[in-house]
A = this chain, B = another copy of it.
Amino acid sequence: MMKSGPAEGGQLTQDDPRDHKANWGISISDLVMRAFAALGTLTSTVVMGTTDQTLQIVSQFFLFRRARYNDLPTFTFFLTTNAIVCGYLTLSLGLSISQVIRSTVKITRIILVILDTVMLALLMAGASAATAIVYLAHKGNAKANWLPICQQYNSFCERISGSLVGSYFATIALVILITLSTIAISRC
Protein backbone atom coordinates (compact mmCIF):
# COMPACT_ATOMS: atom_id res chain seq x y z
CA MET A 1 0.00 0.00 0.00
CA MET A 2 1.36 3.41 -0.91
CA LYS A 3 1.67 5.58 2.10
CA SER A 4 1.88 9.34 1.91
CA GLY A 5 2.09 12.03 4.50
CA PRO A 6 4.48 14.59 5.91
CA ALA A 7 7.97 13.39 6.68
CA GLU A 8 9.28 14.08 10.13
CA GLY A 9 12.93 15.00 10.56
CA GLY A 10 13.90 13.56 7.17
CA GLN A 11 12.74 10.08 8.24
CA LEU A 12 9.76 8.52 6.50
CA THR A 13 6.86 7.63 8.75
CA GLN A 14 5.71 4.30 7.34
CA ASP A 15 3.54 3.32 10.29
CA ASP A 16 -0.19 3.59 9.82
CA PRO A 17 -2.04 2.65 13.04
CA ARG A 18 -4.89 1.02 11.07
CA ASP A 19 -2.43 -1.25 9.22
CA HIS A 20 -0.74 -2.03 12.54
CA LYS A 21 -4.03 -3.04 14.11
CA ALA A 22 -5.08 -5.08 11.03
CA ASN A 23 -1.71 -6.89 10.99
CA TRP A 24 -1.99 -7.58 14.72
CA GLY A 25 -5.42 -9.10 14.06
CA ILE A 26 -3.92 -11.24 11.27
CA SER A 27 -1.12 -12.36 13.62
CA ILE A 28 -3.66 -13.49 16.23
CA SER A 29 -5.71 -15.33 13.55
CA ASP A 30 -2.49 -16.93 12.29
CA LEU A 31 -1.64 -18.21 15.76
CA VAL A 32 -5.12 -19.64 16.43
CA MET A 33 -5.48 -21.21 12.99
CA ARG A 34 -1.97 -22.68 13.13
CA ALA A 35 -2.75 -24.29 16.50
CA PHE A 36 -5.98 -25.79 15.13
CA ALA A 37 -4.20 -27.03 11.98
CA ALA A 38 -1.53 -28.68 14.17
CA LEU A 39 -4.34 -30.34 16.14
CA GLY A 40 -5.95 -31.54 12.88
CA THR A 41 -2.76 -33.21 11.64
CA LEU A 42 -2.09 -34.64 15.12
CA THR A 43 -5.58 -36.22 15.16
CA SER A 44 -5.02 -37.65 11.65
CA THR A 45 -1.64 -39.08 12.66
CA VAL A 46 -2.98 -40.68 15.85
CA VAL A 47 -6.17 -42.07 14.27
CA MET A 48 -4.26 -43.54 11.31
CA GLY A 49 -1.46 -44.89 13.52
CA THR A 50 -3.80 -46.63 15.97
CA THR A 51 -6.17 -48.14 13.40
CA ASP A 52 -6.15 -51.88 13.88
CA GLN A 53 -8.81 -54.43 13.03
CA THR A 54 -8.62 -58.18 13.36
CA LEU A 55 -11.14 -60.08 11.32
CA GLN A 56 -13.27 -62.85 12.83
CA ILE A 57 -14.10 -64.37 9.47
CA VAL A 58 -11.55 -64.62 6.69
CA SER A 59 -12.68 -65.36 3.17
CA GLN A 60 -10.50 -66.90 0.50
CA PHE A 61 -9.99 -63.50 -1.12
CA PHE A 62 -8.21 -61.86 1.75
CA LEU A 63 -4.77 -62.90 2.78
CA PHE A 64 -4.59 -60.90 6.00
CA ARG A 65 -6.63 -61.28 9.15
CA ARG A 66 -5.34 -58.16 10.76
CA ALA A 67 -5.60 -54.77 9.04
CA ARG A 68 -3.23 -51.98 10.02
CA TYR A 69 -2.18 -48.76 8.32
CA ASN A 70 1.22 -50.18 7.30
CA ASP A 71 -0.38 -52.90 5.20
CA LEU A 72 -0.69 -50.24 2.53
CA PRO A 73 2.42 -48.07 1.82
CA THR A 74 0.20 -45.09 0.96
CA PHE A 75 -1.15 -44.98 4.51
CA THR A 76 2.40 -45.05 5.87
CA PHE A 77 3.15 -42.08 3.59
CA PHE A 78 -0.01 -40.33 4.85
CA LEU A 79 1.03 -40.87 8.47
CA THR A 80 4.59 -39.65 7.79
CA THR A 81 3.49 -36.47 5.99
CA ASN A 82 0.95 -35.67 8.72
CA ALA A 83 3.56 -36.20 11.43
CA ILE A 84 6.07 -33.93 9.62
CA VAL A 85 3.49 -31.17 9.04
CA CYS A 86 2.25 -31.50 12.64
CA GLY A 87 5.84 -31.09 13.88
CA TYR A 88 6.39 -28.09 11.61
CA LEU A 89 3.12 -26.40 12.63
CA THR A 90 3.94 -26.88 16.31
CA LEU A 91 7.44 -25.44 15.91
CA SER A 92 6.14 -22.57 13.76
CA LEU A 93 3.87 -21.48 16.62
CA GLY A 94 7.02 -19.83 18.02
CA LEU A 95 7.41 -17.64 14.91
CA SER A 96 3.68 -16.99 14.96
CA ILE A 97 3.87 -15.76 18.57
CA SER A 98 6.80 -13.49 17.63
CA GLN A 99 4.52 -11.98 14.95
CA VAL A 100 1.88 -11.17 17.56
CA ILE A 101 4.52 -9.34 19.60
CA ARG A 102 6.09 -7.58 16.60
CA SER A 103 3.38 -7.46 13.95
CA THR A 104 5.32 -5.24 11.52
CA VAL A 105 8.31 -7.54 11.01
CA LYS A 106 8.19 -8.82 7.45
CA ILE A 107 10.91 -11.45 7.41
CA THR A 108 9.16 -13.96 9.71
CA ARG A 109 6.01 -13.67 7.59
CA ILE A 110 7.98 -14.29 4.37
CA ILE A 111 9.67 -17.36 5.91
CA LEU A 112 6.29 -18.66 7.11
CA VAL A 113 4.65 -18.20 3.68
CA ILE A 114 7.43 -20.17 1.97
CA LEU A 115 7.47 -22.98 4.55
CA ASP A 116 3.64 -23.08 4.72
CA THR A 117 3.54 -23.49 0.93
CA VAL A 118 5.97 -26.42 0.98
CA MET A 119 4.04 -28.02 3.86
CA LEU A 120 0.74 -27.49 2.04
CA ALA A 121 2.11 -29.40 -0.97
CA LEU A 122 3.45 -32.19 1.27
CA LEU A 123 0.24 -32.51 3.30
CA MET A 124 -1.95 -32.48 0.20
CA ALA A 125 0.23 -35.19 -1.35
CA GLY A 126 -0.29 -37.44 1.68
CA ALA A 127 -4.00 -36.72 2.07
CA SER A 128 -4.81 -37.12 -1.60
CA ALA A 129 -2.84 -40.35 -2.07
CA ALA A 130 -4.57 -41.83 0.99
CA THR A 131 -7.97 -40.69 -0.32
CA ALA A 132 -7.34 -42.47 -3.65
CA ILE A 133 -6.64 -45.73 -1.79
CA VAL A 134 -9.55 -45.26 0.66
CA TYR A 135 -11.83 -44.70 -2.34
CA LEU A 136 -10.49 -47.89 -3.93
CA ALA A 137 -10.96 -49.79 -0.65
CA HIS A 138 -14.59 -48.67 -0.54
CA LYS A 139 -15.53 -49.00 -4.22
CA GLY A 140 -12.94 -51.34 -5.69
CA ASN A 141 -12.32 -51.32 -9.44
CA ALA A 142 -13.97 -53.97 -11.58
CA LYS A 143 -11.88 -53.15 -14.66
CA ALA A 144 -8.59 -53.78 -12.84
CA ASN A 145 -10.13 -56.60 -10.79
CA TRP A 146 -9.36 -54.84 -7.50
CA LEU A 147 -12.08 -55.88 -5.07
CA PRO A 148 -13.36 -53.49 -2.37
CA ILE A 149 -11.91 -54.56 0.97
CA CYS A 150 -14.21 -52.36 3.09
CA GLN A 151 -16.97 -54.94 2.96
CA GLN A 152 -14.73 -57.07 5.16
CA TYR A 153 -12.73 -54.45 7.00
CA ASN A 154 -15.56 -52.05 7.80
CA SER A 155 -14.22 -50.71 11.10
CA PHE A 156 -10.73 -50.31 9.58
CA CYS A 157 -12.19 -48.39 6.63
CA GLU A 158 -14.33 -46.15 8.83
CA ARG A 159 -11.33 -45.10 10.88
CA ILE A 160 -8.97 -44.49 7.95
CA SER A 161 -11.71 -42.48 6.19
CA GLY A 162 -12.20 -40.45 9.37
CA SER A 163 -8.47 -39.84 9.72
CA LEU A 164 -8.52 -37.91 6.41
CA VAL A 165 -10.75 -35.19 7.89
CA GLY A 166 -8.10 -33.65 10.16
CA SER A 167 -5.63 -33.61 7.29
CA TYR A 168 -8.00 -31.81 4.89
CA PHE A 169 -8.93 -29.34 7.63
CA ALA A 170 -5.22 -28.54 8.04
CA THR A 171 -4.86 -28.16 4.26
CA ILE A 172 -7.63 -25.54 4.15
CA ALA A 173 -6.11 -23.82 7.20
CA LEU A 174 -2.71 -23.63 5.43
CA VAL A 175 -4.29 -22.01 2.33
CA ILE A 176 -5.94 -19.40 4.60
CA LEU A 177 -2.67 -18.89 6.53
CA ILE A 178 -0.75 -18.22 3.28
CA THR A 179 -3.46 -15.79 2.13
CA LEU A 180 -3.48 -13.87 5.43
CA SER A 181 0.33 -13.70 5.60
CA THR A 182 0.51 -12.39 2.03
CA ILE A 183 -1.98 -9.62 2.84
CA ALA A 184 -0.04 -8.80 6.03
CA ILE A 185 3.28 -8.59 4.11
CA SER A 186 1.72 -6.17 1.62
CA ARG A 187 0.77 -3.91 4.55
CA CYS A 188 4.09 -4.02 6.44
Contacts and interface: CB of A to CB of B under 8 A. Distances in A.
Interface of A: 1-7, 10-12, 14, 61-64, 67, 71-74, 106, 110, 113-114, 117-118, 120-121, 124-133, 135-137, 139, 141-147, 149, 171, 175, 178-179, 182-183, 185-186, 188
Contacts of A10: 4-7
Per DSSP, are chain A's interface residues mostly helix, strand or loop, or mixed?
Answer: helix
Contacts of A135: 73-74
Contacts of A11: 4
A24 B128 CA distance: 36
A143 B64 contact: yes
Task: Tell me the number of copies of this protein.
Answer: 2
Contact of A129 (B131, B144, B185): B131
A128 B74 CA distance: 10
B145 A175 contact: no
8 contacts: A3-B14, A63-B145, A74-B135, A120-B121, A121-B121, A129-B131, A144-B149, A145-B149
Contacts of A139: 73
Contact of A124 (B62, B67, B125): B125
